[in-house]
């Protein structure tokens, strides 16, 4: 008998801080089922990856951009991503140390969520749940199984 393996839901995460990348990857491993986190050190590489996905490749269920990155920051990456038709409705979250209203308003203007980075791992379960809440309802159910 062949065992069916449910497909993974893809989360694309761009951040130049290796510690933050490790924190998010570990949080998804611990607090969400069926998620594969694909990471990039800057927004340019993430947008390039997303642009080059074929029609057969599944779209990510969530894209997370750090605001402060070299080459292409999270705001610029969000603007570029929203200009690509197939990503107009894909959930995006700006994940940042900023708590500035202007940054939150920017995210809202481009249909993105806004999540402030935690101080430590103990807050990551709450933040991971918040990330997942930005996904489509069907995806939320798959991830939380």
Tally the domains of the chain: 1
Q: Residue 120's pLDDT is what? A: 65
Q: Residue 7's pLDDT is what? A: 59
Whether 2 maps to a domain, the answer reads: no
Q: Which residue has the tokens 């489509």?
A: 136
Q: Residue 121's pLDDT is what? A: 65
Whether 89 maps to a domain, the answer reads: yes
Domain of residue 94 covers: 9-144
Q: Residue 102's pLDDT is what? A: 94
Closest CA to 133 of 37, 47, 31, 50: 31
CATH code, domain with 54: 3.40.50.2300
Whether 85 maps to a domain, the answer reads: yes
Q: Residue 6's pLDDT is what? A: 47
Whether 99 maps to a domain, the answer reads: yes
Whether 35 maps to a domain, the answer reads: yes
The residue ranges of the chain whose pLDDT is under 50 are 1-6
Whether 22 maps to a domain, the answer reads: yes
Whether 47 maps to a domain, the answer reads: yes
Q: Residue 8's pLDDT is what? A: 75
Contact 77, 58 (CB under 8 A): no
Q: Residue 5's pLDDT is what? A: 43
Burial 55-72 (b: 16+ CB within 10 A, else e): eeeeebbbbbbbbebeeb
Whether 4 maps to a domain, the answer reads: no
Q: Residue 78's pLDDT is what? A: 98
Q: Residue 83's pLDDT is what? A: 95
């Amino acid at each position: 008998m062949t065992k069916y393996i449910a497909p993974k839901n893809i989360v694309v995460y761009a951040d130049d801080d290796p510690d933050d990348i490790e924190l998010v990857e570990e949080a998804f491993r611990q607090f969400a089922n069926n998620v594969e986190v694909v990471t990039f050190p800057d927004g340019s590489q993430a947008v390039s990856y997303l642009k080059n996905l074929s029609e057969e490749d599944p779209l990510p269920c969530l894209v997370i951009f750090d605001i402060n990155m070299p080459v292409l920051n999270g705001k610029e990456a969000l603007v570029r991503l929203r200009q690509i038709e197939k990503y107009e409705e894909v959930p995006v979250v700006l994940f940042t140390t900023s708590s500035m209203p202007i940054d939150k308003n920017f995210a809202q203007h481009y249909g993105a969520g806004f999540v402030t980075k935690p101080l430590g791992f103990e807050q990551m379960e709450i933040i991971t749940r918040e990330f997942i809440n930005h996904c489509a309802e069907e995806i939320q159910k798959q991830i939380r199984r």
